[in-house]
Structure formats: C-alpha cells, structure tokens
Amino acid sequence: MPLPEINEDIIQRLASGRSLVKGYEYYENGAVDEVKIENGAYIAHVQGSELYTVTIAEKDGKINAECTCPYDWGGACKHVVATMIAINQGRKIKKHKDDAKAVRTLLDKVDSGRLREFLFQILTADSSLLEDFKIFARGKEETENTLEKYKKEILSVLKNLKGKEYYYAHYHDPYEHPISEVMDKFTETAKKYTSQENYKEAIKIHQGICDACIDLLRDERLEDFYDDIHYKAVRSFNATAENIQKMSLSLNDKKLYLDYFLRAYSEFEGKRVFNDVFKKIINASEEADYMLNKQGMDFIPPIKFNLLIVKGEPEAVFSFGEKHYKEYPEIAVQLSEFYNKHNRRENAIAVAEKAIEIIQDRKKDFYYSYRLSDSLKELREFLDKHYNPETDYLKIIENLMALLKLERDIAYYEKIRKVIKTEQERLSVIERLEKLLNGDYDLLFKIYLLENDYERMLNLARKSIQFDVFHSIVKKIRDRYPEECFELYKEKINEFTENVKKRDAYLQTAYWLKLMKEIPGTQDKFIRYIDHMREKYRRRSALMEEIKGI
C-alpha cells in the first residue's frame, strides 16, 4: 500500500484555521514522537492532554487520517496536523541533505574555470542573486556606506507615503503594510551581512532603520502608521544590540555604539525599550560606569537600576532599588535576587511580596496588568524557590495556587500535592481551586485525574457537556458510571441534532454515536436509542447516510 503524499497544500486543505495554528504550535513544541511507518501508514504518538495515536494512510486515493483524541469539529485535528507537519518537514530535511550531498559531488567534478563561467552566467542573469553574491564575496569587510546613507535611502522611499486609508482597496480587504514592505527589505539585507559575520555592516543598516524611524515618528503626516514605525524601530534597536553582542569589543571600541544608543535614547519616545537593549550590550562594570557618568543623561529608574547592578556596588543597588521598586515593580525581581545573592533573604522576600501586592492593585488598569504580567510570574516563581517549608508553609500553598491560576499549568498543582500535609487541607485546596478556576474544565479535569476523584469528574462532565474536554472525561469515567455517561451523550446528541441540520454536523453526530456505543454495558440501550434516531430523523437522508453503518 503506497504511503500518502503529504505537503503544505494538503495540510492547509485538510485542516481548519484553528487546528492549523495549534498543529504548528504542537509541532514546534516537540509534541510529536518519532513518526513510524507500519503496514503502509504513518503512525505517531502526539502528546496533548494525554498521549494520542495518529494514523495517516491512503484509502481509495484519498488521505485517511485518524486520531484517538475526541476532536469532532470537522477537518483534521491539531494532533493530525502536527504529525503531517513532522512528516513534511522530515522529507524536506532529507531532501535538503540529499541535494547538498549531490551538489558537493558535482562541484568536486568541475574545474574552477568552468565554475567561474557558470557563476558568471547565472549572476549576470539574476540581479537579486548578484546582490547576495556581493555580500558573500565581501565577507567581513565593510562597505563605504554609512548609517546616514542607509537612513536617507529609507526616507526617500517613504517620502511619498500616503495616509492609511489609501491602502484599503475595499473596506473588507486586508490592510497592506507599506512601512513593513520597505523596512523588511533593509532588514533582510542586514541579516545576510550578519550571516557572513559582517556585523559592522549589519549594524549600520539597523541603525539607519532606527534613525529613519525616529524621524518618521515626528512626521504628523504619518500619524496613522505610528505603531508600525515604532515596532520596526524597537526590532532594529534590538537587532543592533544582538550584532554588537557577537563582536568581542574593548570598552574603547564599544564606546562608538554606546554613544549611538545614548543619542537614540534621548531622541526616542519609548524609553523602556532600551532596558532590554542595554542588558544585551552592557555586561562589564566599566561599561556601566561609562553610561552612568555620561553628562546630561537622565535614565528612567529601571534602566539605571540595571546599570547599577552591572556596576556591582551592593549598597548603591539596595538604596536605589528600595527607593524605586514601588513605583516600578518590574525591578523588584532583580532587587529580590540581588538581596538573596548577598545573603539578605528576609529583605528579598519582603520586596517580592510587596511588589506582588502593588501589581495586583494595579491589575485593574489593563496597561499595567499587561506590562507587569511577566513580572508577577517571576516574583511568584522567586518566592516559590525561596520560601522556607518549615516557616512559610501556608504562604507556599497560597503562592502556588496563585501561580496555577495565573499560568494554568498543572505542574503547580503537582507541587501543591507534595506540600500539603493533611487530607482536610487537600480537600480545602480543591474546593478553593474549583472557584478560582471556574470554567477552566480542562485544568480541573487534570486536577481530578491526579486525585483519581471520579465523582468530581462525573460532575465536571455534566458541566462541560458542550466542550471538547467532555469526551476525555467520559472516556476516563465510563467504566465506573456507564449509565450516567450514556445519558449525558444522549443529551448532547439530542440537543445538537435537533438544532443543527447540515452534513458536516451529521458527521459529528455520527462520531458521538460511535463514542456512545463504546460505553460498556449499554449495548441494548444503544440499539434502542439509534433505532429511535433512525425513526425520528428518517426524512434527513444525509443523517441516515452518516449513521447507517453504526
């Protein structure tokens, strides 16, 4: 039996939008175990809420993909998508390796003169390839271009840019991004220089983009594009810093770039973006000292605090951190870690707890809530590492419960289980979590699974009957509660089939009936129920066709 062909077009055709996105996430996160070939089919195990088995084969000239997960909303599920991506990527990698090996074999057979002639022919016929070859041939040698020249080139392209409304061909058409279209060409060129370790040339291009963006942000005519321009500037500031990181520079050699960033910091409105930039390039005491002593510079507290940490004078760090962390709670993580590093655990704990309190008070403000969400997690993670099990027992549990609510990660509940001392406390925690996680049926199911609490799972199945997790719950509890599970499926199928009259929906009805049929000890009831379905909906020919083999 031939293996089915899997390519990107086929993946796009078989998957719905959400499954496609989730499938790529699963693949990128390494959820797909090694894909095997057995009896003319691809077989893989994919880690989801549990370990699912995916089988992909060719049947009657079409791809037949099956998964043991409960997905039933049409198209391929995310586990099938992730497996198909793994198959396709594996073929690409193998083909790339085979091609590379074949190219080297060919090159070994051709003398240098003929190679030069071949290069001449293809480079004179392809201008973009010629530009790439110029970058390759130059190696680490800079061009005569300056960042001012790159800046002028960008501005000259954008000088005739019109208002945003011009780029809407029709109200429903997707918005074109002229800023990205221009900037991305320069960014791609910079990346090519970086790949040749020509970091100085790449830096000039990124600096040209940054300086052009600073000018563009002052142009009222381009007010509609403010967010796009600001975003490109931030990306290029960071790319500049990343290229500087790759070079081994003395302080004297680095001063050129530090001075550039000091100027950019003074001119760019979004000061906070330089926090990450300076962290990347300032990693020695003398470099931090150079920045701190620069005349006329007024750094925002988070940046100055980072510089003080690098400079390494503990009392200055403690004094400045204590003065500013309540206004800028994002620096509390570093302040707590710095306290702990210098054996001042009580101060470290106190700062982290106070900062959490401040952030929670500010969570009513969406801007602060969004910006400080990472800091909140980091602070709670810090406390989790440094609380003392003997003296901070209750705090440990409260902190882990807060992390569970914040991150929705079952690993935090696993930690709670290891900490809890009595059965009464365990039950109390579960009851509180049911209120905290109300509506998060997936996470509650994982908690009940860990506890082997079948009664709670049954109650959860009743609440989650309209959600995907319902099928997983029933699969787990159907041996223990067959009658109850049968009635729940009956309720689900009746309501859905009564209200939805489309062939795609009938596929789902048929799938649910198959799951219902698997419930042990209910075969007679199932026969009566499906006979009832056939009688009640006998005029729905599409439905009859879908359920005829069940």
Q: What is the mean pLDDT of residues 196-211?
A: 97
Q: What is the mean pLDDT of residues 441-466?
A: 95
Percent of the chain with pLDDT over 70: 92
DSSP label at residue 415: H
Torsion, CA 314, CA 315, CA 316, CA 319, rounded to 10: 120
Sign of CA dihedral 465, 471, 473, 475: positive
Q: What is the mean pLDDT of residues 372-378?
A: 88
339 band by pLDDT with thresholds 50, 70 and 90:
very high
Does residue 491 carry a pLDDT above 80? yes
pLDDT tens across 227-270, in order?
889 989 999 999 999 999 999 999 999 999 999 999 999 999 88
Find which of 69-83, 358-372, 410-424 is predicted with most confidence, using mean pLDDT: 410-424
Q: Choose among 406, 384, 381: nearest CA to 397.
A: 384
From CA 458, how far away is CA 477, in angstroms rounded?
7
From CA 110, how far away is CA 515, in angstroms rounded?
63
Q: What is the mean pLDDT of residues 444-449?
A: 95
Q: What is the mean pLDDT of residues 89-113?
A: 79
What does the pLDDT read at residue 19?
Answer: 77
Q: What is the mean pLDDT of residues 106-128?
A: 89
pLDDT tens across 27-65, in order?
888 888 878 888 788 888 888 766 788 999 888 778 889
What does the pLDDT read at residue 30?
Answer: 83
Please check whether residue 349 is in contact with residue 383, taking contact to mean a CB–CB distance below 8 angstroms. yes
What does the pLDDT read at residue 529?
Answer: 95
Does residue 1 carry a pLDDT above 70? no
pLDDT tens across 33-42, in order?
878 888 788 8
Average pLDDT of the chain is: 89
Tokens 């199932």 appear where?
526
What does the pLDDT read at residue 165?
Answer: 61
| Residue 90, strand partner residues | none
96 band by pLDDT with thresholds 50, 70 and 90:
low
What does the pLDDT read at residue 171?
Answer: 37
> 210-237 as b/e, with b when 16 or more CB fall inside 10 Å?
bbbbbebbeeeebeebeebbbebbbbbb
Q: Where are the chain's structural domains?
A: 8-109, 322-382, 387-468, 478-547
Q: What is the mean pLDDT of residues 95-121?
A: 84
From CA 452, how far away is CA 450, in angstroms rounded?
6
What does the pLDDT read at residue 170?
Answer: 42
Does residue 173 carry a pLDDT above 50? no
Ramachandran bin of 75, using left for φ above 0, alpha for ψ from -120 to 50, beta for the remaining angles = left
Find which of 150-164, 195-209, 535-549 is predicted with most confidence, using mean pLDDT: 195-209
Q: What is the mean pLDDT of residues 385-396?
A: 95
What does the pLDDT read at residue 369?
Answer: 53
